[in-house]
Amino acid sequence: GAVVSQHPSWVICKSGTSVKIECRSLDFQATTMFWYRQFPKQSLMLMATSNEGSKATYEQGVEKDKFLINHASLTLSTLTVTSAHPEDSSFYICSAPNPDFSGNTIYFGEGSWLTVV
Amino acid sequence: AQTVTQSQPEMSVQEAETVTLSCTYDTSESDYYLFWYKQPPSRQMILVIRQEAYKQQNATENRFSVNFQKAAKSFSLKISDSQLGDAAMYFCAYRSAGGNEKLTFGTGTRLTIIP
C-alpha cells in the first residue's frame, strides 16, 4: 500500500543553524503534502500545505521565511527550519492524500523529532 | 473555519470492557469527512476509522465503531473488548470534502487500558 516516509526521525542541531526534514511518498505521486507540528502533549497543528511546482500555502501565524517548504517533485517535499532556536524544538509530521482520491484516506509519515540546543 | 472538540483529555477502561470517546465539531459545510486517529508512543498516526458525512450508516471496523450524529455534529468512537494495545492518544479529525485534504484535529484523548 501507499507509504509516506520521513527523514530524519531524530535530529539535534545547534541554535542558529538550519535543518532539513524530508517527506517522501514511496509508491505514489503526491501533488500536495501537508506539514504539521506537534508540541508535547498537544494536538497536531497544520503549518503549511506543500504544492508541487508552486509555492507552499502557510497557515496564519507560521513564518514563511523560517519554515521553508519546497515541493520540487511529485514524491518529495522538504521542510527547512532556518536559524533554528530552542523554541522550534518539536515533533514535525507530514502527510499526503490518497492519490486515487477516494476522498478519505490520508497517509502520514513517521514524524521527525527536532531538538535545538 | 472548522473546529473539532474533544472534551475528555483522559479516559481509562478495564481490559475487555467498552469505552466511548467523544468528539464534536463545528462546520457550516454539508459534505465532509471525519476520522479517528490513534497515536501510540511511537507518534505514528494510525487511522482507526473514517466516516463520510453523506453516509447515514455508522462506520465500523472490527472492535471500533462510531456514533455519527450529523445534526448534533457529534462523532464518538466506541472501542469494544478493549485491549492493552489500544492504549494511546486518540485524535478526532475533520476534513472538508472539497479539494483541500488538510485535516483539523481535536486536542486528543489519552486512553489508558487497565489490566
Residues of A in contact with B42 (CB under 8 A): 110
At residue B63 the predicted structure's pLDDT band, cuts being 50, 70 and 90, is very high
CB contact under 8 A, A104 and B52: yes
Return the number of CB contacts < 8 Å for A and B. Answer: 51
At residue A53 the predicted structure's pLDDT band, cuts being 50, 70 and 90, is confident
For residue range A58-67, what is the model confidence (pLDDT) as tens digits? 999 999 999 9
For residue range B12-61, what is the model confidence (pLDDT) as tens digits? 999 999 999 999 999 999 999 999 999 999 999 999 999 999 998 999 99
Residue A101 reports pLDDT greater than 90: no
DSSP SS3 for A41: coil
Interface of A with B in 32-61 (CB under 8 A): 32, 34, 38, 42-46, 49
Interface of B with A in 47-76 (CB under 8 A): 47, 50, 52
For residue range B92-113, what is the model confidence (pLDDT) as tens digits? 999 998 767 789 999 999 999 9
Determine which helix (DSSP H) or strand (DSSP E) holds B3, and give its type and residue range: strand B3-5
Q: What percent of chain A has pLDDT over 70?
A: 93
At residue A105 the predicted structure's pLDDT band, cuts being 50, 70 and 90, is confident
Q: What's the pLDDT score for residue A27?
A: 82
Quickly tell me which residue has 487500558 as its cell.
B113
- State chain B's maximal CA–CA distance in angstroms: 44
* Contact status of A6 with chain B (Cβ, < 8 Å): no
Q: What's the pLDDT score for residue A1?
A: 57
Residues of B in contact with A44 (CB under 8 A): 45, 91, 103, 105
Residues of B in contact with A105 (CB under 8 A): 47, 50
CB contact under 8 A, A43 and B35: no
Q: What's the pLDDT score for residue B34?
A: 95
Helix, strand, coil abundance in chain A, percent, nearest 5: 5, 50, 45
C-alpha cell at B5: 472538540
Residues of B in contact with A9 (CB under 8 A): none
Peptide bond into A8 cis (omega under 30): yes
Average pLDDT for chain A: 91
Which residues on neighbouring strands pair with residue A84, listed in sequence order?
Answer: none
Q: What's the pLDDT score for residue A99?
A: 64
Residue A104 reports pLDDT greater than 60: no
* Residue of B44, B45, B50 for testing the chain A interface, max A β-carbons within 10 Å: B45
For residue range B29-41, what is the model confidence (pLDDT) as tens digits? 999 999 999 999 9
* Residue of A6, A101, A104 for testing the chain B interface, max B β-carbons within 10 Å: A104
